[in-house]
């Protein structure tokens, strides 16, 4: 007796998250009819667009063909678009796999850089790379967030959240880059955020160049560790070396306006293809910012030149130039200040800024006005030796405030802030830097610079990866023109007979978040002949 096919109606109702999103995959031994599908605009005053496609994949070769059903159609407010109204046949056979995808383009999309998941409360604190723009109660979508989850029974696994797709509500806004949402409990299993996972697909032919010889190579494999920035490439029998040699610095001249440092290193042996790294705190200068009173070491860990190799230019036998980052003059107004006179600590509210702990600013002389028990005073004055006409180190900071160690000398009692003159806080500036060296009087800084033995370049967009941020559903070419590795000589940090490692820059990105603007609805008839 023949077995009659089993028919089953299913409905799919999910939000449309940013990026390429898989909606449905035909079960094994099943054919399916998409009877109806639509996307509704549920935002306020928004005009998102959607692309709806069927992906047919050969199960023997892995080759894919994307068939666009509708492309970049705009959905007006309080409206919807019908994607399928009739029949779309899907199947999964020993040779063929069909799936349907949707890709939405909308406003308000932010990149996720960190997620702290609180178990068993089931809430997540999400950090974004820029202003998320959310308010308490906003409906949002999340997508492509990678977690490592610890399970005492099954060990460590990596999962992509959310799966299945759903919407969430903002329950608390901490600041412009951090908010809290409820995502549900996980039966006591803790989860740890990971940056996006990249999976190597292929590389362009002859897209890797050995700078010293011009030889071309094709990578046959690769992996990228976003937390360290290390890109490992498989290149059989490449013959390239790793490591670095150290060089002395006899003297250095820094131009704060251009960011160019001219380094004198007698007989350095470098050329225009070389890259060098200045070791942290190995170059000593005095600066006119504080009247050349204190010796300061560079690069600091907060400086752009810290821990990275940079190209050099204008190379002569004993000198070369390196771009270590400019120090432009930037002024800030102070809207509030708290002054702990006994500890010598002052916290200034200066609005949005990019200042960092460990760097220095100046307070314009007499720019801050305080009310004291003895009357009104302006600060700093010559008696305030820790703050007057000198560089002051930032001990901590937020997005809108800096805390300074100004010293207690010349200031006692209770100081209540009343006002400040314009441009009271001064950052950077074209201050003259005088070389000091190891001995304090212009001597040589021994082994202060490393030069790479071998470097490579990677053709733009030639390394093809998939990314967990969109569920590995699309291919992406690296390096992009916005990446640090683009059009750059990259030093080989490690090598074996068949592999090389280079540092292409760390990444904290790992997922997307956006306000809920679109919802997908479909009716599907499954026919199972198993």
Q: Both 181 and 300 in a single domain?
A: no
Q: What is the pLDDT at residue 154?
A: 46
Q: Both 339 and 386 in a single domain?
A: yes
Q: Both 335 and 400 in a single domain?
A: yes
CATH of the domain at 294: 2.40.30
Q: What is the pLDDT at residue 431?
A: 82
Residue 22 in contact with residue 101, Cβ under 8 Å?
A: yes
Q: Both 110 and 257 in a single domain?
A: no
> Do the bridges between strand 198-203 and strand 190-194 make them parallel or antiparallel, or are there none, so unpaired?
unpaired
Average the pLDDT over 509-526 and give the result: 94
SS3 468: helix
Give the tens place of pLDDT for each residue, 9-58.
999 999 999 888 999 999 888 889 999 999 999 998 999 999 999 999 99
pLDDT > 80? residue 530: no
- Locus of tokens 């071309």: 216
Q: Among 22-36, 279-293, 452-466, which stretch is predicted with the lowest mean pLDDT?
A: 279-293
SS3 246: strand
Q: Both 98 and 111 in a single domain?
A: yes
Residue ranges making up the domain that contains 412: 330-427
Q: What is the pLDDT at residue 153?
A: 44
Per the confidence metrics, is the pTM higher than 0.75?
no
SS3 469: helix
Residue 404 in contact with residue 394, Cβ under 8 Å?
A: yes
Q: What is the pLDDT at residue 158?
A: 62
Q: Both 102 and 189 in a single domain?
A: yes
Domain count, the chain: 4
Cα(478)–Cα(464) distance, rounded to whole angstroms? 6
Cα(127)–Cα(129) distance, rounded to whole angstroms? 7
Q: What CA dihedral angle connects 450, 455, 461 and 464, to 10 degrees?
A: -100
Give the tens place of pLDDT for each residue, 468-485.
888 888 899 999 999 989
Q: Both 317 and 215 in a single domain?
A: no
Q: Both 57 and 134 in a single domain?
A: yes
Cα(315)–Cα(321) distance, rounded to whole angstroms? 7
Cα(468)–Cα(326) distance, rounded to whole angstroms? 36
Give the tens place of pLDDT for each residue, 121-174.
889 999 999 899 999 999 999 999 998 876 544 444 568 888 888 999 999 999
Give the tens place of pLDDT for each residue, 215-232.
999 999 999 999 889 999
Q: Both 5 and 152 in a single domain?
A: yes
Q: Both 294 and 363 in a single domain?
A: no
Average the pLDDT over 307-313 and give the result: 89
pLDDT > 90? residue 318: yes
- What Cα–Cα distance (Å) separates residue 191 from each residue in 117, 187, 194, 318, 509? 6, 11, 10, 54, 17
Q: Both 227 and 83 in a single domain?
A: no
The distance of Cα 449 from the centroid of its chain, to the nearest Å, equals: 27
- Any residues with CB less than 8 A from the CB of 496 and at least 6 apart, and which? none
Q: Both 43 and 130 in a single domain?
A: yes
522 closest CA partner among 1, 4, 16: 16
């Amino acid at each position: 007796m023949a077995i009659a096919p089993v028919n089953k109606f299913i409905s799919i109702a999910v939000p449309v998250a940013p990026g390429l999103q898989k909606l449905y995959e035909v079960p094994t031994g099943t054919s399916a009819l998409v009877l109806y599908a639509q996307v509704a605009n549920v935002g306020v005053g928004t005009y998102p667009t959607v692309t709806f496609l069927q992906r047919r994949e050969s199960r023997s070769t892995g080759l894919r063909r994307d068939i666009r059903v509708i492309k970049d159609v705009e959905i007006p407010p309080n409206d919807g678009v019908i994607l399928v109204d009739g029949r779309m046949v899907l199947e999964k056979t020993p040779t063929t796999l069909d799936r349907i995808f949707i890709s939405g383009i909308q406003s308000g999309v932010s990149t996720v850089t960190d997620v702290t998941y609180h178990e068993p409360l089931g809430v997540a604190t999400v950090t974004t790379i820029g202003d998320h723009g959310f308010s308490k109660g906003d409906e949002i979508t999340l997508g492509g967030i990678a977690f490592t989850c610890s399970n005492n029974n099954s060990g460590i696994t990596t999962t992509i959240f959310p799966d299945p797709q759903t919407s969430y509500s903002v329950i608390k806004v901490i600041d412009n880059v951090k908010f809290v949402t409820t995502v549900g409990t996980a039966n006591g299993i803790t989860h740890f955020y990971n940056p996006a996972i990249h999976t190597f697909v292929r590389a362009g032919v002859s897209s890797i160049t050995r700078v010293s010889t011009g030889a071309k190579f094709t990578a046959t494999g690769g992996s990228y560790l976003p937390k360290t920035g290390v890109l490992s490439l498989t290149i059989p029998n490449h013959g390239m070396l790793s490591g670095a040699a150290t060089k002395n610095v006899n003297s250095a001249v820094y131009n704060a306006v251009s960011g160019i440092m001219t380094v004198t290193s007698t007989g350095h042996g470098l050329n225009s293809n070389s890259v060098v790294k200045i070791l942290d705190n190995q170059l000593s200068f005095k600066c006119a910012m504080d009247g050349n009173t204190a010796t300061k070491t560079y690069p600091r860990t907060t400086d752009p030149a810290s821990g990275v190799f940079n190209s050099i230019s204008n190379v002569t036998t004993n000198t070369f130039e390196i771009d270590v980052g400019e120090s432009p003059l930037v002024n800030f107004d102070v809207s509030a200040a708290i002054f702990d006179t006994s500890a010598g600590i002052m916290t200034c509210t200066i609005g949005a800024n990019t200042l960092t702990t460990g760097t220095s600013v100046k307070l314009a002389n007499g720019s801050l006005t305080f009310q004291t028990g003895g009357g009104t005073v302006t600060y700093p004055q010559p008696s305030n030796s820790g703050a007057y006409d000198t560089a002051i180190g930032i001990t901590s900071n937020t997005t809108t405030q800096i805390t300074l160690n100004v010293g207690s000398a010349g200031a006692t009692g209770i100081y209540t802030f009343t006002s400040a003159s314009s441009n009271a806080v001064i950052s950077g500036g074209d201050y003259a830097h005088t070389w000091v060296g190891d001995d304090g009087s212009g001597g040589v800084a021994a082994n202060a610079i490393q030069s790479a033995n071998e470097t490579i370049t990677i053709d733009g967009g030639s390394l093809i990866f998939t990314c967990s941020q969109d569920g590995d559903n699309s291919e992406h070419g690296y390096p992009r023109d916005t990446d640090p590795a683009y059009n750059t000589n990259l030093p080989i940090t490690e090598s074996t007979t068949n592999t090389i490692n280079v540092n292409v820059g760390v990444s904290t990105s790992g997922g997307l978040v956006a306000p809920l603007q679109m919802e997908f609805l479909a009716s599907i008839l499954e026919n199972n002949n198993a």
